[in-house]
Structure 1
């Protein structure tokens, strides 16, 4: 009888293992929960946090129970068409202003327009004045002919009153040139564009509105096979650009587009 009681008491000494196993189980569960909390999706958490802050910041307080009532926030989809409509209205007004500037230039250069030496075109970027370089410069030269210098001054007077960015582009045909002053058509086209730019600057157009680009023979408007086509390609183009800011889109390392918080003003091609 005493031996049986001794065995039962011996078995009771090992009951601590049950409590120890329960403790280990709880400890494991605790660390699992902690790991789960540390792996919260930061993006979703930030969206939820911002939504809660906005909701409770704008929530009126109920005078009876002092319980905040969450008011629904307006959907951004309502504001987007309005902003788009306003932007379209600004673009339309600017386009009309550009057309008026183009009309004034046509009036100033009417004789040359009738001769087919000057063309005024409306493009997606603005208004483009295309001038045949045979009336502006002698072959292989970058000095304005005196009669056309006066005409270009009249154009400058029209452009001074506007606030649009202006890009002057020099173009040549594909006939090579190589002399002490111009080793290639690149230098010739760039210097011709710069010559017109300097005339505009001297006439009072702000320097930060002006850009000069030399394209050589890389932007032909006609094939260079015939003399008429080469004559058409030798030209100086004056582009009147838009002033409405452009919306920019930033790309991340994966190439995905993300909305940029700011917008930048339209710039001439060389400055973009």
Structure 2
């Protein structure tokens, strides 16, 4: 009897470890199932999140998420406050750009002070950028497009200051409504475009990259004064140089630089 009881005890101990082993395998399987489930990434939502973050830092145009998160383990985290973040980034970029252009305006004012004091040049700054308007008599002989006198040296100094920034620059030539017809310029369109192109070429020769520049000839269009008087026609014969704000360029249809146009 003693021997039979000992054998029964040994048989019971052998079956008990199998139960423990089965419990261990079950727990291990459950562990790997959980790890696998939380490691899954919703690729579509990941791409949306990545694109949204890039947009926020580049332009600030980031839409708020339209659908709430489901709360599941494989759902990407929602960004409920992206508009305030985008607005702050956008506002900071606009402030830095404005400060940069204000510094540039101060330097240009000193360089161009003789023309400003003589009433031949006006300059202002707004959200689009820096606007410089120069009467044609300060730059060109009548009916010609080659800069005269000391104007090439003055424009070269301006060009070196503009070369220090990265903004695009638009140069526009304007005339009055008096027709012109000679062997070189059949109409005011050719004359205005040639004058704008002449200044663009001078800027390029003094360090401004060509892809930042555009020359536009506008002839007698967009007058600033009445062409019925001599004084009004003199005001309309001008060259306009616009240093375009980078923030304005991103938000509007400002003509891209890097070319020449007659309109």
TM range (shorter): 0.5 to 0.7
The alignment of Structure 1 onto Structure 2 pairs a total of residues equal to 197
User: Could you give the per-residue CA deviations for residues 69-113 of structure 1, whole angstroms, max 9, x where no partner exists?
Assistant: x798343xx211220221122112101111111111110111111
The Cα of 1:122 is off from its aligned counterpart by 1.5
The Cα of 1:267 is off from its aligned counterpart by 3.1
Q: Distance in 1 between matches of 2:223 and 2:82?
A: 44
- 1:59 partner SS: coil
Q: Alignment partner for residue 72 of structure 2, among 20, 36, 59?
A: 59
Q: Alignment partner for residue 107 of structure 1, among 103, 107, 110?
A: 110
Q: Which residue of 1 aligns with 2:160?
A: 157
Q: Distance in 2 between matches of 1:158 and 1:236?
A: 18
> Does 1 or 2 have the higher relative contact order (CA < 8 Å, sep 6+)?
2
TM-score normalised per structure 1: 0.65
Structure 1 portions without partners, runs of 5+: 1-45, 61-67, 249-263
Q: Which residue of 2 aligns with 1:38?
A: none
TM-score normalised per structure 2: 0.67
Give the 4+ runs in structure 1 shifted more than 4 A: 53-56, 268-271
Q: Distance in 1 between matches of 2:225 and 2:100?
A: 30
Q: Which residue of 1 aligns with 2:138?
A: 135
CA pair 247-160 structure 1, distance change in 2 beyond 3 A: closer
2:256 matches 1:267: yes
The root-mean-square deviation of aligned C-alpha atoms, in Å, is: 3.1
Q: Distance in 1 between matches of 2:255 and 2:100?
A: 16
Q: Alignment partner for residue 167 of structure 1, among 159, 165, 170?
A: 170
Q: Alignment partner for residue 229 of structure 1, among 225, 228, 232?
A: 232
Q: Which residue of 2 aligns with 1:246?
A: 250
CA pair 176-86 structure 1, distance change in 2 beyond 3 A: same
Q: Which residue of 1 aligns with 2:129?
A: 126
Kept after mapping to 2: 8 A contact 1:167/1:212: yes
The Cα of 1:54 is off from its aligned counterpart by 9.2
- 1:240 partner SS: strand
CA pair 173-265 structure 1, distance change in 2 beyond 3 A: closer
- 1:224 partner SS: coil
- 2:138 partner SS: coil
- 1:225 partner SS: coil
User: Could you give the per-residue CA deviations for residues 40-59 of structure 1, whole angstroms, max 9, x where no partner exists?
Assistant: xxxxxx99xx99x9956x72
